[in-house]
Amino acid sequence: MDVDQARLVAAAVHLAPSRSTGLSAGLVALLLVGARPLWKRAGHLTTAVHEGGHALMAFLLDRAFLAVRLERSQGGLTSYYGPSRGWGRLMITAAGYTAPSLCGLAGAGLLSVGNVTAALILAGVATTSLLLLVENIFGELVLLVLLGLVLTVATTGSAGMQLFVACTASWFLLFSAIRSLGILRRARRYTRFTDADTLATVTHLPAVLWVAAFYAVDLYCLVIGGQLLLDG
């Protein structure tokens, strides 16, 4: 590796977003979340992260894990053996709707200090791990597409492109977490089998309180993550 190549690698690893990059990436992410035709496709990323949150928490709590499903409707299911009540069930259930915003915040934190490569590596590892757990063909296709995008950007993209894509992905997760809660609120008009209702059963607290708690976490992550991406 010559001096110029070494400088390029260093730039890829230690390139923090400028305000213009963070703002333009945020606008692209907002379009992906707000435009219905784009959301119908991009929203599967949020579902994957949501179910990945359940799966990761189940793994950390040493639950006997079964499988993950990602559906065309953007629904999902994570199956595991374990108690139907208690702190374990609470933490596993609560991990779903907070996972996208927390991942978006983590990505923003890495990017704000220039760790673009670390963000891409973690995205690839997380996608590969979830791919090993998914049991339905559609879910596998979604994750293969995501993994392909991550690998393409990481191996062929310039340092600037890697930064922009990573910023857009972080913004997308932060914004989409809020949109997912709107979908949750509408779903509760027709069913009582949502994560919020499960938490209400486990804790004997109103489901609407859990929805409010999800909003509090996701809005906090959006504010802090947005500051990191714009002022990093």
pLDDT value of position 54? 94
* Cβ–Cβ < 8 Å for 117, 159: no
88-146, pLDDT tens digit by residue?
A: 899 999 999 999 999 999 999 999 999 999 999 999 999 999 999 999 999 999 999 99
* Cβ–Cβ < 8 Å for 179, 31: no
Phi, psi at 65, each rounded to 5°? -90, 140
- Mean pLDDT score, 195-222: 96
pLDDT value of position 121? 95
- Mean pLDDT score, 49-53: 96
Domain boundaries, the chain: 17-231
Q: Which helix (H) or strand (E) holds 6?
A: helix 3-13
* Unique residue bearing structure tokens 């993209």: 157
Q: How many CB atoms lie within 10 A of CB 225?
A: 27
**CA–CA distance, 85 with 96 (Å, rounded to integer):** 17
* Cβ–Cβ < 8 Å for 78, 51: yes
* Unique residue bearing structure tokens 């435009």: 35
pLDDT band at 16 (very low <50, low <70, confident <90, very high): confident
pLDDT value of position 1? 42
Cα-Cα-Cα-Cα dihedral of 153, 154, 158, 160, to 10°? 80
Question: How much of the chain exceeds pLDDT 90, in percent?
Answer: 78
Cα-Cα-Cα-Cα dihedral of 105, 110, 111, 112, to 10°? 90
Whole-structure pTM value: 0.90
The two tokens of residue 143 are 């994750």
**Mean pLDDT taken over the chain:** 90
Q: Which helix (H) or strand (E) holds 229?
A: helix 207-231
- Characterize 104-121 residue by residue with b for buried, 16 or more Cβ atoms within 10 angstroms of its Cβ, and e for exposed: bbbbbbbbbebbbbebbe
pLDDT value of position 14? 62
pLDDT value of position 37? 95
* Unique residue bearing structure tokens 């879910």: 139
Question: Which of 77, 78, 81 shows the shortest CA–CA distance to 63?
Answer: 81
